[in-house]
Structure 1
């Protein structure tokens, strides 16, 4: 028996070259059938994700602009409402002042009318009292003198 000593762990021969060629063919086929379509799908997904990201950013910018517009319109509406409120308060104040003046004038007119009526009644009562006092004094004098007084 003869012992062959080999120093190298791998011997280079035609099988290694055939295996290398078959491995390269396998890589080429796998690349064509699997890696390229997979890379295409991943690239398409990346493009869609980027498109969605841009749409989200555009929608976010639109939303911010709409909120700013709404905020401006709300502030304007509040200012308009405040102006209308002040205008209505001013009109109400003027109307209440006019009504107060009218009522005050009516009260003064009624006071004057009542005072005139009271003065007229007092004058009537004074006249009636004067007539009654004359009649009463005549009756008292007739009784005191026991005789009838003539009308003078």
Structure 2
């Protein structure tokens, strides 16, 4: 079966059918050997990239959650530290007030003791002075009167 046309650029004959079959076999082989594995590799790569993107997204979410948790813990620790500082400050104020009160009581008792000693010493001094005054008075009167006074 030979169709011959002399004025056409392409001649359709039996070689065309062989070339067509040969081309189809070539496409089948290329599809099996090259395109299917290539498509499979591309799909696996896309799946891997999607999985990595999902891991990145979940990692970012975890990081944000941890950052929020850390901020909450930091705020909680700051509040506890403020409470502890205020507690220690009030405890210190209370102890200082107690110490001041004890010091005042000691000062008051020391003042009372000192005043009692001073009063006692003044009494003793007055008694001693009274005795001396009496003796001096008697001596002065004896000299003024030129006689001896009997006690």
What TM-score range do you get, normalising by the shorter chain? 0.7 to 0.9
Secondary structure (helix, strand or coil) at the match of 1:68 reads: helix
Aligned residue pairs: how many? 147
Q: How does 1:19-58 map to 2 (within 5 A)?
A: 19-58=19-58
Secondary structure of 1:11's aligned partner? coil
After TM superposition, give the deviation of residue 102 of structure 1 in Å.
1.3
Q: Is the 8 A contact 2:142 2:148 kept in 1?
A: yes
The higher-RCO structure (CA 8 Å, 6+ apart) is 2
Structure 1 residue 134 displacement after superposition: 2.5
**Distance in 1 (alpha carbons) for counterparts of 2:60 and 2:150:** 117
Partner residue of 1:70? 70
Q: 1:8 and 1:118 mapped to 2: Cα distance? A: 151
Cα distance between partner residues in 2 of 1:140 and 1:9: 176
Provide the TM-score with structure 2 as the length reference: 0.83
Q: Is the 8 A contact 2:142 2:149 kept in 1?
A: no
* Secondary structure of the structure 2 residue equivalent to 1:149: coil
Given that 2:138 and 2:149 are in contact with CA atoms closer than 8 Å, whether structure 1 keeps it comes out as: no
Matches within 5 A, 1:1-152: 6-143=6-143, 149-152=148-151
How far off its partner does 1:116 sit? Answer: 1.3
Please report how far the alpha carbon of residue 133 of structure 1 lies from its aligned counterpart in structure 2 after TM superposition: 2.5
Structure 1: segments with no counterpart, 5+ residues:
1-5
Q: Distance in 1 between matches of 2:78 and 2:148?
A: 94
Please report the RMSD computed on the Cα atoms of aligned residues, expressed in angstroms: 2.2
> 1-side partners of 2:65 and 2:140: how far apart?
108
